[in-house]
């Protein structure tokens, strides 16, 4: 590092468990870029200074995480179409004096499905949770051309409001308790239930055909939900690939000259896997 080192980072609160600094700095190292990526724990009562701070310190790019993905929007000069539709920003680029907001979470989810080679044709989507992550997932499902969606959430009004903005042929809202697993479902858990290893948003206690379960939580590496699904023979994966793909896409936004950072996906995945299961 020297006086020309460019600064990138993550803003959120809390952020001490984030894996982003680990893999973003790994990418910086692999491409031999003169940059550093740091995690900034921004207190809520300091957030109003964010725009000036980025500009004053000439921070070239930031990821944004809980609880600031929505509150950051009024501080930005422009947001791209996906961030606008989703209503949340997880990536900021500071370029030509302007702060530009993007959302790479939906991209990360779509790329994960593609790379896992799962066939979602004729599947009914079931999204558990209606928070920030759910918005990006639902936007991705709309882009993927899914017809049927059911949104299950603790707070029904929040689910109602969220689904209103999106176009699906058939929309249904339900509580988490009323969820029943069936054949041909694409179930995505976006609730935070599962961060505690003994908790699960719904009960899975029977075998079904062609159903796919994705829990976007990656720490613990196998949530109770994933374990229950696997016990019943259901294909189930966690959110680590989504995390890495959204992060590589952010990296691509900041370092446009780099041809294909996705070639290092396996390298990043192995590193984070080791960290998570150790």
Annotated active-site positions, please? 69
Bridge-based pairing of strands 98-102 and 91-95 is antiparallel
Cα–Cα distance, 159 to 161 (Å, whole number):
5
> Which one, 17 or 169, has the nearer CB to ligand NAP?
17
Give residues 102-121 in contact with ligand NAP (rule: CB under 6 A).
105, 108
Tell me which residue has tokens 């080679």.
117
Binding-site member from 192, 210, 232, 271 for ligand NAP (CB under 6 A)? 192
Q: Strands across the sheet with 98-102, in order?
A: 35-41, 6-12, 61-64, 91-95, 98-102, 78-79
Q: Shortest approach of ligand NAP to residue 34 CB, angstroms? A: 27
Q: Which letter does DSSP use for residue 77 in this model? A: S
With contacts defined by CB under 6 A, how many residues of the chain interact with ligand NAP?
26
* Mask for 1-40, x = binds ligand NAP (CB under 6 A): ----------------------------------------
Residue nearest to ligand NAP (CB): 131
Q: How far is CA 12 from the centre of its chain?
A: 14
φ/ψ of residue 98, rounded to 5 = -120, 145
Residue 140 binding ligand NAP, by CB under 6 A: no
Tell me the C-alpha distance between 29 and 273, whole Å: 19
CB 81, min distance to ligand NAP, A: 20
Q: Around Cβ 105, how many Cβ atoms within 10 Å?
A: 30
Structure token digits, residue 224: 């109770």
Site mask for ligand NAP (CB under 6 A), range 217-256, x = bound: xx--------------------x--xx--x----------
* Positions that interact with ligand NAP (CB under 6 A): 66, 105, 108, 129-134, 153-155, 158, 176, 190-193, 195, 216-218, 239, 242-243, 246
């Amino acid at each position: 590092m020297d006086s020309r080192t460019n600064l990138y980072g993550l803003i959120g609160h809390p952020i001490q468990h984030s894996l982003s600094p680990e893999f973003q700095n790994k990418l910086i190292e692999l491409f031999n870029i003169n940059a550093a990526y740091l995690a900034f724990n921004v207190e809520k009562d300091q957030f109003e200074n964010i725009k000036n701070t980025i500009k004053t310190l000439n921070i070239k790019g930031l990821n944004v995480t809980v609880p600031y993905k929505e509150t950051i929007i009024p501080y930005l000069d422009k947001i791209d179409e996906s961030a606008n539709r989703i209503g949340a920003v997880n990536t900021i680029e500071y370029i030509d004096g302007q702060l530009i907001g993007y959302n790479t979470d939906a991209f990360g989810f779509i790329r994960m499905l593609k790379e896992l080679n799962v066939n979602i044709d004729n599947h009914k989507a079931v999204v558990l949770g209606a928070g920030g992550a759910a918005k990006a997932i639902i936007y991705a499902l709309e882009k993927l051309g899914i017809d049927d969606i059911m949104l299950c959430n603790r707070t029904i009004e929040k689910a109602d409001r969220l689904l209103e903005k999106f176009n699906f042929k058939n929309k249904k809202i339900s509580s988490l308790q009323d969820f029943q697993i069936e054949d041909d479902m694409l179930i995505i858990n976006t609730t935070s239930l599962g961060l505690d290893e003994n908790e699960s948003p719904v009960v899975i206690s029977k075998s079904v055909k062609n159903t796919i379960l994705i829990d976007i939580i990656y720490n613990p590496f196998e949530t109770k939900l994933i374990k229950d699904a696997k016990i019943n023979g259901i294909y189930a994966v966690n959110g680590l690939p989504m995390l890495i793909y959204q992060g590589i896409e952010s990296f691509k936004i900041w370092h446009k000259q780099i041809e294909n950072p996705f070639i290092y996906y396996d390298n990043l995945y192995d590193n984070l896997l080791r960290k998570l299961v150790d």
